[in-house]
Structure 1
Amino acid sequence: MNTLRHALRQLLRTPGFSLIVILSLALGIGANTIVFSWIDTILLRPLPGVRHGEDIVALLPTIDGNQVGGHTISLPDIQAYDEMDTVFAGVIGSQITPANVRIGDRHPWLFGQIVTGNFFEVLGVQALPDLGRVLHRNDTTSPGGNPVLVLSEATWRSQFGADPAIVGREIELNQHPFTIVGVVPANFRGTMSGLTADFWAPVTMHREVANFGSLETRTDRWLHSQARLQPGVSIDQARAAVTVRGQQLAETYPENRRHGAVPLPMWQTPYGGQAVFLPALRVLAVVGLVILLLVTANVANLLVARATARQQETAIRLAVGAGRRHLVQQWLTESLLYAVLGGAVGLLVTVWGASFFAIFLPESPLPAGYEFAITGRVLGVTLALSLLTGVVFGLAPALLAIGTSVLEALKAGGRTGSMSGRSHRLRNALVIGEVALALVLLAGAALCIRGSQQARQIDPGFDPSGVLVSGLRIGMNGYDEERGLVFYQQLRERLAATPGVEAVGLASWFPLGFEGGPSIGITVPGYTPTENENMAVPYAIISAGYLEAMRIPLRAGRDFTDLDDGEHPLVMIVNEALAERYWPGQDAVGRKVQTWRGEATVVGVTPTGRYRSLNEPAQPFLYFADRQGVADLNLGIALRTTGGDPRQLLPTLRQAVAALDPNVELWATLPLSEYIEAAHLVNRVATTLLTGLGVIALLLASMGIYGVMAFMVGRRLPEFGIRLALGAAPKDVAGLVLRDGLRLVALGLLVGSVGAWAAGVGLASALPGVSSHDVSAMIGVALLLTGIALLACWLPARRAMRVDPIQTLQAQ
């Protein structure tokens, strides 16, 4: 307690110094805690509101034992894996979908999940007290025969005014009556991490809610699946058991040949916020550590300077019998006090900064968002960082203190003591480290800025400017395939004849959004796959006019026409990556491809574009014609305007849809240029945060350089006075100071260049557009850092130039 009281007195004795130290630590600890709160929410707690969420694993499909990028499994396979009760406490299936709800005279679009009957049971989610129940297995007894809904608490409050009599109320969803049976707590957001579900409906109501999927067909793999591990079962044991079960299913059902499943931790799922933000979070975790090291070095520098200033005090303590162990305890106590106070302020920074993540999310039709909370785990990390940094930066002055020579320190106030020499060398080393770390961060920021610019220049294979996209879910309005084809054809013809519309096309999926597209397994006659080769190819269903609306050129062959219908042979358009893979150096037009629907003929070849991300390698892709029996009743429409803002076409689109069917509601309408902002999200997060942290690193390094040079000038004032008295010019004295400072900067740049190169390699592998060989960016950052360092050295150099030799010598 005496040591603590002394530490408090030291803190209050120098309030300015203490404030700088505490704020510096708050910055470093707060930045790391903010990043960890994001990691905690996005990766470690992807399923908030779920009981013992750490026991939930994702069940992902495989082909020939390899995970192939697919996300979904068929309902019969989910039910088969659910029978593995020695491994799993339950296996669930779900699929998220928008739905149009009629609430009085309002028709809002809500997002919900179609779920298996054991969904809430396996997840351990209960309804709110006095607000009904969750779905049970007996709610999935017959297709189309279980029209019940469970609402989220947020939807109950926002859409239904927190009506206490909500249970038993009937509403209209997609023009079908449903009865609300319960409300679940707001902290449960569903099983698609990063998305918030408004309601949950039984899987047997899939036609009424989403109008897609099958309950019996094993080849219709449309449900995301999760499982709860039994107590004591590891994920490796579950993986082995699932592999065996998959092989059994493959032997029993021919359609499961080559297909299996693999359990993975939820943070490794290829869907949801984990997959989107994992690259950025990896970068930010490293950046946070670098900032913490930089702050620690800076604070250690400040404390070493103060230890030097208190050298005579330390010597007197030792002279009157104080033990060196007691001095170490004293210094560490002071350091830990600063660290704890810095951590407390850093926690306040975290409370404010954790929600900062939301500003990066672009406009999207999906209900994206996170609820960031300061959990016990986040508090634990804050405390651990505070104590660790306190010990680390407290060791430097403590070690200097116990190495003090009492005799030398008492001579002339210790100006020539050994501690001053050691502290000077230590402070030089710390400044070199600060410059090196600042260079790494600034280089990373520069590479991200250049990378973002380059990513904007990447050709995605289509032209997003001047295009309006909108979703149409006519299957939810009671349309079957025959009527749907007529509706879409009439809508396309009506819009194509409208002034201001250059081109119009339909598609089941638009590239570079948050929504992943489907894949289809193919067989190419004459091509022998290598062992475990992935023969699944992403695809989209499109209409005639889509390629024109998106300005996707044809390299060979022709576009789809309205004659490509169910009365004519199946055709497809492929990209150059697919053509080169299966028919290298040959003409792909006219080639045959076997699909689950039968044999299709290639009629056109497009350039290879970017489909799911900007930094994806060239991958095969194919298109089916919408009128050939593969019609999707949930098509989107792409309208290219003849000029101006594509939003000006929205009234035209609304009028055209209403003229055909006033009950059809547009969903998720926005310019294509904004829709594909999802592809730039990771770059924007990394660039913004790295730039901000790079500026902070530059300031910290400048402070460190200035502190060391100012300290050095203060110690050498007598020397400079003598030099000037003997005839040295002021500029020569300034040159000495500048040379010493630039020597430290040069050493820091040399050390930091290695780290900057490693950072460039890491960023290039994670972010689109970033090049690890961007020499101009590296040189620019080094020059910037050198310029700031020159300024930091020049201020002490000016003081050295203005030394009065007579006053300086009289003071000795």
Structure 2
Amino acid sequence: MIWVGGAPVQRFLQDVQYALRQLKKSPGFTATAVISLALGIGATTAVFSVIYAILMNPYPYAHTDRFMHMSLIDAEGKRQGFGLNSDQWRELKKSPVIEDAFVEDEWSLTVTGHDFPEDVEAGFESSNMFNFLGVPMLYGRGLQPSDAVDGHEPEPVVVLSYKFWQRHFNSDPSVVGQKLQMVHKDYTIVGIAPSRFTWGDVDVYVPQKIVEEPNHTFNTEIRLKPGVTRDQADAALLPLFQQFAKDRPQGFPKGSFKVHVLGLNDNFLQDLGGTLYLLLSAVALLLLIGCGNVSILLLARGTSRMHEFALRAAVGARRWRIVQQLLTEALLLSLTGAALGVGLAYLSLGKIVDTLPKYAYPHEAAIRINVPVLCFCVAVAILTGVIFGLWPALQMSRPDMSQVMQSGTRKVAGSVRGGRALGSLIAGQIALTMLMLAGAGAALEGFVKLTTVHLGYDPHNIMSVPIPVHENTYKTWADRANYFEQLKTRVAATPGVAMAAISTNATPPSNGGDTLFDILGRPSSQEQKARLNFVSPGYFPALKIGIAQGQIWSETENHNGAPVIVINETMARKYFPKGNALGGAIKLQLKDAPPFNLMAPGADGWLRVVGVIQDKLDDGLRNPVVPEMFVPYTLWMRMGTQILVRAQVSPLTLLPAIRKQIAAVDPEQQTISDPQDLEHWIMSEPEYEQERLVSWLFGAFAVLALLLAAVGLYSVVSYSVAQRTNEFGIRMALGAQREHIWKMAFRSMSVSVSVGVGVGLVLALALNKVVAHWAEGSSRDPLLLAGATMVLVLAAAIACAVPARRAAKTDPMVALRYE
């Protein structure tokens, strides 16, 4: 019965009831359309929410547009680190382009006064830092100028980070005003930082004592004055830094350099921005494919119902009533898909955040669902449903009555036009899916290359245990050398430990510090630079690094701080091309700066080359090996080191026993709270985490796109077969074979699939540079493209085969009576 009158509310309710019955009669169609929309909306919203939080609105600090990092660019165009002492900081603050600047340092402290000491990372901040950042504290106050007056000892006050407050004090706000003992000194807790205040990722903030020591340098952050551009700042700061370099040349690049200021988020934009935008492109394609799928389903279903629309119009239904009915059905589908998409966005957001490289984005970022983007995606989904849901009704709401009365099948005028539209949509969907598959293949190929790269060392069953040395302890060279040796000996004696070695700064695959050096008998050159590592002789067998020539220094030589050095093959080939590295002599630029850096007697003289090791990765997982030098760690000891532990079992299981051994040497000595084995160290490398993020997320989106495309094809072929059932019956009654019917069903989509694959291949080739910039693989790889084509064609064949087989098995007599 067709209802054509009544109150608006009654008409609406009846439309909803009728729409629900129609959707219930086609559960496969309904589920497919809803899931297609939900996947597109959920994925797109989640990924853009991550992008917005990390790249567009990451920081809670004041004036972030003028908050700058400073860097120095040497003559080779490479960025160099530096530090400023207290006098230089004060001069910097007087610059006409700078509004304010603060200095900071970072050190490990130990919470004492409890049964078990707890290691904490402390940020030592100049007293203007909190005013500079301009973030109100959650409870209490931040550090203030009166906490650290020049020429006086800083006040013993501390501000707790939000996470440390939660972990150590169970989120108790009454701790403000209480005491926290660190290294046997009582500090008054004056404030609790809010959750987004994570500057430096430290546990506590204490006032920095500004010492008048030329070699004691700090990290320095600046804020430009309003209206000052970055170029203006670079030009104004260069003469000042050139003067700093003249006054203290050991802290600045040799030769000419430039000053370059960077925005607070520029490094993260460079490291992760392209990856996130690539993923956004992937989910945007997924949203398009999902909406295309719904369009195909609605158009195919509408085309199959054209006879129904014509009959309703013929018996008196007004055009607007037919449109209104279909609008209700389309809105029900779209809104249901949108609702599920919202839920999926919230569920998937946390999963995406878990896969992000740990240190490749600011931890201040509040990653939450972006409402405007969510509304946009929902609007796109609704618009898609409305347009393609109403298209058949608008075509057939004024039919040719003679054609309707003569037609005994579902084929009526307009189906040819509808078929062309369906074919175009299918081709577009296949093309986008092909592009997704090629991009996912390139990302996976790059990730596989990264995981199978030759390391040059064995990272299995070995871990690095960082050990900080507290200030004012082990202040002489002999005391510190003996202390480190005792720690190594006790750790090596731990049951389950196969070998232990000192590795101050040499944990691969990205290790050492770039250091200038001279070669005996050759002119000095500022271009002679190599990675310098401080290790014990056990470092090489612990990592199973092969010896190419010569030998490693002995334990006795290590204990005495002997002037010896070992280089890698790359350095030997570059600087000793005649093969005469052994017996050569190298001089390093090492400076004695007690109590922070203690140098052995003679360490600033010529070091004899005693060995050449086989190359290992030393500059990350992607970059080629660079020249590398190894010297006894006793030549130049910092206030802290690392112990490499090779174990007979999983090394992390030995941590409690190792910590007991360390405490047996010094009860107050702590290790860094989260040591890692070298396999996880590799997986924490930015390039590894970035490739893993791109490959897995891109791969997941590509699989979803493939499933959506296959379902869309299946739906179209199914509706096409249902529409032509009567025709197939006539053909079979006249003698057509089942294989002929099978081929007809396949042929209906072969052109669209072929065109879509072709266009997708063209897009993959055209966008290769974009994909290759953020993935190690290439979307132009012939094998990759052939594989993606085969996967897509196979999925299309399966999608078409099921309804085609059903059509071929239809009984001709049943088909002839089908309506």
Match in the other structure for 1:543: 536
SS at match of 2:640: coil
Match in the other structure for 1:701: 709
Change (3 A) 1:313 1:145: same
Q: 1:713: how far off?
A: 1.7
Match in the other structure for 2:36: 24
User: Is 1:437 the equivalent of 2:432?
Assistant: yes
Change (3 A) 1:810 1:322: closer
Match in the other structure for 1:509: 505
Match in the other structure for 1:465: 460
Match in the other structure for 1:798: 805
Match in the other structure for 2:182: 173
Change (3 A) 1:234 1:340: farther
Match in the other structure for 1:575: 568
Match in the other structure for 1:37: 49
2:260 to 259, 262, 267: 262
Structure-2-length-normalised TM-score: 0.82
Contact 1:12–1:18 (CA<8 Å) still a contact in 2?
A: no
User: Is 1:661 the equivalent of 2:651?
Assistant: no
Deviates most, 415-424 or 733-742: 415-424
Change (3 A) 1:418 1:112: farther
Structure 2 distance, partners of 1:555, 1:724, is: 79
Contact 1:546–1:638 (CA<8 Å) still a contact in 2?
A: yes
SS at match of 2:742: helix
Give runs of aligned pairs for residues 387-406 of structure 1, distance below 5 A.
387-388=379-380, 390-391=382-383, 406=398
Aligned length: 781
2:414 to 399, 419, 427: 419
Q: 1:185: how far off?
A: 1.7
Q: 1:463: how far off?
A: 0.7
Structure 1 distance, partners of 2:234, 2:12, is: 57
Amino acid aligned to 2:368? I
Q: 1:527: how far off?
A: 7.0
SS at match of 2:622: coil
Contact 2:552–2:611 (CA<8 Å) still a contact in 1?
A: yes
Structure 1 distance, partners of 2:327, 2:88, is: 60
2:734 to 726, 734, 747: 726
Q: 1:486: how far off?
A: 0.7
User: Is 1:115 the equivalent of 2:113?
Assistant: no
Change (3 A) 1:362 1:56: closer
Change (3 A) 1:737 1:90: same
Contact 1:128–1:185 (CA<8 Å) still a contact in 2?
A: yes
Structure 1 distance, partners of 2:650, 2:515, is: 36
Amino acid aligned to 2:56? L
Give runs of aligned pairs for residues 327-406 of structure 1, distance below 5 A.
342-357=337-352, 359-360=354-355, 372-374=366-368, 378-388=370-380, 390-391=382-383, 406=398
Change (3 A) 1:335 1:461: farther
User: Is 1:606 the equivalent of 2:613?
Assistant: yes
Change (3 A) 1:517 1:276: farther
Contact 2:154–2:207 (CA<8 Å) still a contact in 1?
A: no
Give runs of aligned pairs for residues 269-288 of structure 1, distance below 5 A.
269=267, 277-278=272-273, 280-288=275-283
Match in the other structure for 1:739: 747
Match in the other structure for 1:62: 73
Contact 2:58–2:365 (CA<8 Å) still a contact in 1?
A: no
SS at match of 2:209: helix
Match in the other structure for 1:141: 150
Q: 1:489: how far off?
A: 1.7
Contact 2:491–2:662 (CA<8 Å) still a contact in 1?
A: no
SS at match of 1:149: strand
Contact 1:477–1:663 (CA<8 Å) still a contact in 2?
A: no
2:624 to 617, 621, 631: 617
Contact 1:140–1:203 (CA<8 Å) still a contact in 2?
A: no
Gaps (5+ residues) in structure 1? 206-213
Deviates most, 556-565 or 704-713: 556-565
Q: 1:431: how far off?
A: 1.7
Identity of matched residues, %: 26
Structure 1 distance, partners of 2:18, 2:585, is: 83
Contact 1:174–1:477 (CA<8 Å) still a contact in 2?
A: no
Q: 1:477: how far off?
A: 7.5
Contact 1:355–1:372 (CA<8 Å) still a contact in 2?
A: no
Change (3 A) 1:382 1:409: farther
Q: 1:706: how far off?
A: 0.6
Structure-1-length-normalised TM-score: 0.83
SS at match of 1:33: helix
1:189 to 176, 194, 198: 198
Match in the other structure for 2:101: 91
Contact 1:311–1:409 (CA<8 Å) still a contact in 2?
A: no
Q: 1:37: how far off?
A: 2.0
Contact 1:116–1:137 (CA<8 Å) still a contact in 2?
A: no
Change (3 A) 1:275 1:484: farther
Change (3 A) 1:268 1:338: farther
Change (3 A) 1:164 1:432: closer
Change (3 A) 1:444 1:632: same
Q: 1:27: how far off?
A: 1.2
Change (3 A) 1:291 1:153: same
Structure 2 distance, partners of 1:96, 1:241, is: 29
Deviates most, 484-493 or 674-683: 674-683
Change (3 A) 1:460 1:793: same
Structure 2 distance, partners of 1:311, 1:242, is: 74
Amino acid aligned to 2:487? L
Change (3 A) 1:236 1:428: farther
User: Is 1:124 the equivalent of 2:134?
Assistant: yes
Structure 1 distance, partners of 2:324, 2:239, is: 60
User: Is 1:684 the equivalent of 2:692?
Assistant: yes
Q: 1:338: how far off?
A: 5.8
After superposition, what is the alpha-carbon deviation per residue over 1:486-526, rounded to whole angstroms, capped at 9, x for unaligned? 1112333445566754432111235458x986443456685
Indicate the RMSD between aligned Cα atoms, in angstroms.
4.3
Deviates most, 285-294 or 162-171: 162-171
Q: 1:787: how far off?
A: 2.6
